[in-house]
Structure 1
Amino acid sequence: MTVPPGSDPAAVLSALGRSWTWLLGSAVATLVPGVLVLVWPDETLHVLAVLIGLYLLVTGLFRFVAVFAREDHGERLPGLLLSVLYVLAGVLCLRNPLQTITALSLIVGVVWLVSGVLTLYTALAARDLPHRGFVLAAALLAVVAGIVVLALPTESARALTRLLGLWLVLLGLAEVVLALAWRAALRRAGLTRPG
């Protein structure tokens, strides 16, 4: 990422959001809580709520910065709405980590459903979106996961924990692939150094 000194904040955020390492950082922020949830599925609801809350907050911040990498300002609104949704949901999870599994399920289900719909809209509206099919598939997966969680909010904590952990791991791996594809595209365009 190269930004001249004295640049305005939007230019700094734009350069940061276009960086493949920023995408990789977002992938790691998604993957790590997923692995933790799968490794310790019998932990208390308190730990699960804190992990999910932190994931939502960090992802919201990553998405906020990524919005500024978009050239078309019309594409920014869905991204901004999504980042605000993630941050608010993260605050809700962290504000009352002892809430019931049903409340946590509803928060996560709504975030996934809205996230999937907004990502689907962006993928369909942005004609020159790289890896459009991959983004569409991830959006549809988010919509389905949101519907499943919202349809079954009172299922056992163990089932929800496994579903959340598995979804976060799959999403994190998808984001790693996307980050590496972005790095390859930047190298082909001569915009980054090899190695």
Structure 2
Amino acid sequence: MTETRASARPGDPEEVLGRLGSSWTWMLGAALASLVPGILLLVWPDATLQVVAVLFGLYLLVTGAFRFVAVFGQERGERVPGLLTAVLYVLAGVLCMRNPLQTIAALSVIVGIVWLVSGLLTAYAALATPGLPHRGVLLGTALLGIVAGIVVLALPSESAVALTRLLGLWLVLLGMMELAVAFAWRSAQRRLTPGG
């Protein structure tokens, strides 16, 4: 337990959020928040742009909430990239939900910016945090986001079907990587627990 968390009072909201955000079940929930909409988009490629915008907006809002809580599982000095990413996800989610009848170009720009900035912030956090477990998986996730963001921004989708498939594929890949991190985290916690 870190010095920061050790000095917190029991029942302190920061302490509660810290325990929740660093639990493997919270990480599992975040992985499912990516995986489920990704699968829905892949099995429903003919969804209208309105449905795609609402699904993606819900994904962004839920993921932003998961990332916000997960930030409290980190040291205070390491929280800034995670907080910025959480705020970015929530703002983009609100944009998608507020105007689901937007054009394919507008949705592509929102998606591209979220993936690119989120990938850059994740890469920074992975490289700047000393002794970070699973650094390779986080860097892989960051690289995936950066590449996806660049592709969407450089070649905006010309149809809702193309954007839906790209969104679905990326969310499924991201969800699977997050699942791997969650189960690796559970395994590490069990090794550190006496009698685990």
Could you say which TM-score interval applies, normalised by the shorter chain? over 0.9
Residue pairs, 1:21-170, within 5 angstroms? 21-71=25-75, 73-170=76-173
Does residue 176 in structure 1 map to residue 182 in structure 2? no
Report percent identity of matched pairs. Answer: 70
Contact kept? 2:40, 2:168, Cα under 8 Å: yes
Contact 2:48 2:160 (8 Å CA) reproduced:
no
2-structure distance, mates of 1:20, 1:132: 16
User: Aligned equivalents of 1:74 and 1:103: distance in 2?
Assistant: 35
Amino acid at match of 2:54: V
Over the residues paired in the alignment, what is the CA RMSD in angstroms?
1.5
Deviations 1:128-159 (A, max 9, x none): 11011111111111100000001112422211
Residues in 2 aligned to 1:6 and 1:186: alpha-carbon distance in whole angstroms = 21
SS class of match (1:97): coil
Q: For 1:75-115, what per-residue CA distance to the aligned partner results, in whole angstroms no more than 9, with x for missing partners?
A: 10110000000000000000000001111111011000000
> How far apart, in 1, do the equivalents of 2:158 and 2:183 lie?
36
Question: TM (normalized to structure 1)?
Answer: 0.93
Q: Secondary structure, in 3 states, of the residue corresponding to 1:181?
A: helix
4+ runs deviating over 3 angstroms: none
CA distance in 1, matches of 2:158, 2:151: 11
Tell me, which stretches of 5 or more residues in structure 1 are unaligned?
none
TM-superposed CA distance for 1:160, in Å, is 1.1
The separation in 2 between residues aligned to 1:81 and 1:20, in whole angstroms, is 22
| AA matched with 1:133 | G
SS in 2 for 1:85: helix
Letter in 1 for 2:127: L
With the length of structure 2 as denominator, give the TM-score of the two structures. Answer: 0.93
What residue identity is the alignment partner of 1:98? L
- Counterpart position of 2:188: 185
Identify which of 10, 14, 21 aligns with 1:10: 14
Assess, with a 3 A threshold, how the Cα gap between structure 1 residues 126 and 142 changes in structure 2: closer, same or farther.
same
